[in-house]
Amino acid sequence: MLVRADFQKYLRFSRLAREIYADYSDKIEPYGIDEVWIDVTGTEQIFGTGQDIANQIRQRLQDELGLTGSVGVSWNKIFAKLGSDMQKPNATTIITENDFRECVWPLPVGELLYVGRSTRRKLQNRAIYTIGDLANRDIKSLRLLLGIWGETLHSFANGLDSAPVRQTGESSIIKSVGNSTTTPRDLVNNQDVKLIIYVLAESVAARPRKHGFKCKTVSISVRGNDLISFERQGKLSNPTFLSNNIANKAMELFKANYRWETPKSWCAWI
């Protein structure tokens, strides 16, 4: 059964979910279409442990919005994301510094965040099939295979990710605003792309709208699972902070510069 996407309804529920998250922390970083990282460090005295907070959020999503949610709780962003994928669609998964070797290392290497199809094939060609294989491979050989990215993935596999969760409403000077996602499945037509672009545009528009700024140029960067990529930009007829205007321009740029031949998995940036 095929159901036409309702973009506005999707965006409304996404905003409502983020209002729930904001009750627990102001450090909320969007990832992809409908996921976020939340840093709850220092809130234990108010809301309880990370597991307690995850369960509270899941219960509120169910009670207030009728949505299920899978949550990963860990000390770093990479393993938190990994945990959220382990027991979909409705569970809390805890990954700690004491047990990650037992619960993470046996997983297929492609489950690790940022290991795409091309990287996974390269690793498997070197007999690196699991996250544990990657974690225990010598860094020199990984650098020869993947460059500096090989060393980065080795660190991720060993739980060495210190990237902070970006704080909502950071006050740094805004020169450009962007967001990106890697799609979990192949996109097969412009409607698929439109959904991604509209969700990204809503996230992109929120920050200048909050601070009273407007944008006059929209850029897109697209890379397929075959690693072929292109970047295009275009000026808006009038400066705006409206997500629909940004999304329409981004979609115009995409349709003018891409011809469908085979389904693709895309990494898209607006």
Residues with a catalytic annotation lie at: 35
Residue 147 — φ and ψ, nearest 5°?
75, -155
User: Could you tell me which of 114, 106, 35 has the C-alpha nearest to residue 72?
Assistant: 35
Whose structure tokens read 């981004």? 250
User: Do the Cβ atoms of 100 and 124 come closer than 8 Å?
Assistant: no
Q: Which two tokens stand for residue 84?
A: 């959220």
CA–CA dist 51, 122 (Å, integer) = 36
Kindly calculate the radius of gyration of the chain based on its CA atoms and give it in whole angstroms.
20
Q: Which helix (H) or strand (E) holds 72?
A: strand 70-73
Q: How many CB atoms lie within 10 A of CB 242?
A: 15
Beta bridge partners of 230: 222
> Who contacts 84 (Cβ-Cβ below 8 Å, separation ≥6)?
35, 70, 71, 72, 93
45 exposed, middle or buried (CB, 10 Å; 0-12, 13-18, 19+)?
exposed
The helix/strand/coil state of 236 is: strand
Pairing outcome for strands 91-94 and 70-73: parallel
Q: What share of the chain is helix, strand, coil (3-state, %, to 5)?
A: 45, 20, 35
